[in-house]
Structures are given as C-alpha cells and as structure tokens.
Amino acid sequence: MFADTSLPPIVVIATKNPGKIKAVEEAFKQLCPGKDLTFLPCAAPSGVSDQPMTSEETLQGAVNRVKNAKEMIPEAAYWVGIEGGLEPEGDLLTSFGWGVILSASGVIGKAKSATFYLPKEIADLVKEGKELGVASDIVFTQTNCKHSNGAVGLLTQDNLTRPNLIVPSLLLAAIPFLNTNFTF
C-alpha cells in the first residue's frame, strides 16, 4: 500500500476514539507488515447526527471524517474515517459501521462492517434519543463502552469487540489499494 516512497508513511485517523484508533492500527499492520508507520489521530467532525440512523448517513459520516481529517492534516499517505450507525429493520434496529480510506492520490475505498441486531432494551433507549453507546452503558451498567469494547463487545461478552468488528471493514476498504490494476 506504500508503493509511492515519496509519501510519508503517515496514516491519519479521523478520530480520537481509542477503540477506532486500535482498529486502524491493527488493520494497517496487517496490510503493511514490517512497515514503520506513523498514526496521527485527529478529532475530525462527521457532519452527521450523533447517532446516524441509516446506512447512507453513516457512510456519509465516515466520508466527511476523511475529508475533514485531510484538511486538518494534509501531509499523509492515507486518511481513515470510521462511523458507527444504526438502521431500522422492521421493528428491530441493526448496528454496523462504515470504514473509509482515502489515499494521497485520491483513490477511495469503502466497506461496511458486519451487521448485528440490538436487543429491545437497547433499541428502545436509542428510539428515545440516546446514542447507542449511552444506551448500552445504561443497560449493562457500564461507563463509556463506545471508547472500548463497544455495544458488540458487551453483547458478545467480548468474544467480538468494537475494534475487532471494525478491522475487517478496513481490510475490505483497502481492496482498491491492493488491486491497482482494477477500476473501482
């Protein structure tokens, strides 16, 4: 992914959320084994609601984070944005995230994470206006899960944590950078 050696080996992460930072670092270590990378987190705004409620809004949030991060820190090889979101499916709510990677050359990769259903106890709190992380904290009597294992970690008893859910979407978002002979 770092074929252009004139670029600094810098990956800007469009968040200060420790769970998302960990996911980006893990994904890029898999994508660039042995490469000495510098990761620069920054608080890039999403420009969408605090709790996106559609896949489209969630993707737009991740794209906005990438664009805003590039404006904040323009000297890098890659910018990465992650946005978690929800979407109604009948009477239920699903949870997922979008990962977006932008290269200095303007190539963009996007991928959605795995999706899971929220229990009614959490979904009802979200429908009342609470963010997923806050609702999960209330139901599980936790504090600030969105910056660690996330709702998915609480629901799976940490068999799958938020960073582990995000990493595959970033690996999939890297497909255009790993297959430069194709058009995306």
How many distinct helices (H) and strands (E) make up the chain?
7, 6
What does the pLDDT average to over 9-19? 96
One DSSP character per residue, 51-98 reads S--SHHHHHHHHHHHHHHHHHHS-S-SEEEEEEEEEEEETTEEEEEEE
In this structure, which amino acid lies at residue 20? K
Residue 3 pLDDT more than 70?
no
Query: Residues 69-88: pLDDT tens digits?
Result: 999 999 999 999 999 999 99
Query: Residues 24-47: pLDDT tens digits?
Result: 999 999 999 989 999 999 999 999
Q: How far is the CA of 46 from the CAs of 3, 42, 101, 113, in angstroms?
A: 29, 12, 14, 18
Query: Residues 111-127: pLDDT tens digits?
Result: 999 999 999 999 999 99
Query: Residues 48-71: pLDDT tens digits?
Result: 999 999 999 999 999 999 999 999
SS3 116: strand
Closest CA to 61 of 131, 128, 11, 4: 131
Handedness of CA 29, 52, 76, 181 (dihedral sign): positive
pLDDT band at 8 (very low <50, low <70, confident <90, very high): confident
User: What is the per-residue pLDDT for 147?
Assistant: 79
Q: Are 20 and 163 in contact (CB under 8 A)?
A: yes
Query: Residues 158-183: pLDDT tens digits?
Result: 999 999 999 999 999 999 999 999 99
User: What is the per-residue pLDDT for 4?
Assistant: 63
User: What is the per-residue pLDDT for 152?
Assistant: 95
- Percent of the chain clearing pLDDT 70 (strictly above): 97
pLDDT band at 5 (very low <50, low <70, confident <90, very high): low
- Encoding tokens for residue 23? 């996911």
Strand-pairing partners, residue 111, are 99
- Please state, rounded to an integer, the average pLDDT across all residues of the chain: 94
Residue 14 pLDDT more than 70?
yes
